[in-house]
Every structure is written in structure tokens, then in C-alpha cells.
Amino acid sequence: MSDFVLDASFTLQWFLDDEANREYSLSVLTSLSEKRALLPKLWFYEVGNGLMMAYRCKRITFDQIDGFLTRLKHASI
């Protein structure tokens, strides 16, 4: 059983510095060491799309995308 459902837009707040309410999303990221998150089936696609849109709007670089994906692999989700 999971403690909460993790939305893609919420996940993107972890890595996009200019997002509103980022402090709350970072506290949830920290809690993943103790809690479990459920991911919707489209989560992977939505996160990927969000990263590409941020890149196209010049909010992030490809290197930042690579770092983000590496950290996601090691997250407890």
C-alpha cells in the first residue's frame, strides 16, 4: 500500500528551481525515505514531456535533464 500518489507536475518541482511551492514538494521528496509513493501509468511520459518542454523554453539544459533522470533512478519511488 502507498502513502500518496505522486503527480508528474509535483515531481518536476523537485528539479525546476523556478517552480512555485517548491519547498513543499522538496519536503515530500525527503519523506520518500520513509514513505511509499504510487505512480500513475502516464507518470513517466508526463515527466519526460515536462522536461522536454522546460528544455524548449530554455529553463534547463540537456545536462540538467541527464542529472535529473539519474537522480530519479535512485529515488525510492
Give the domain extent around 64. 4-74
Q: Tally the domains of the chain.
A: 1
Q: What is the DSSP letter of 47?
A: H
Contact predicate 57/65, CB 8 Å: no
How buried is residue 59: exposed, middle or buried, by Cβ count under 10 Å (0-12/13-18/19+)? middle
> In this structure, what C-alpha cell is assigned to residue 8?
508528474
The reported pTM is: 0.80
pLDDT at 1 (0 to 100): 55
Q: What are phi and psi of 37, to 5 degrees?
A: -115, 140
> Which of 1-5, 39-43, 49-53 bottoms out in mean pLDDT, i.e. has the lowest?
1-5
Q: What is the pLDDT of residues 13-34, one digit of tens each?
A: 988 888 887 888 888 888 887 8
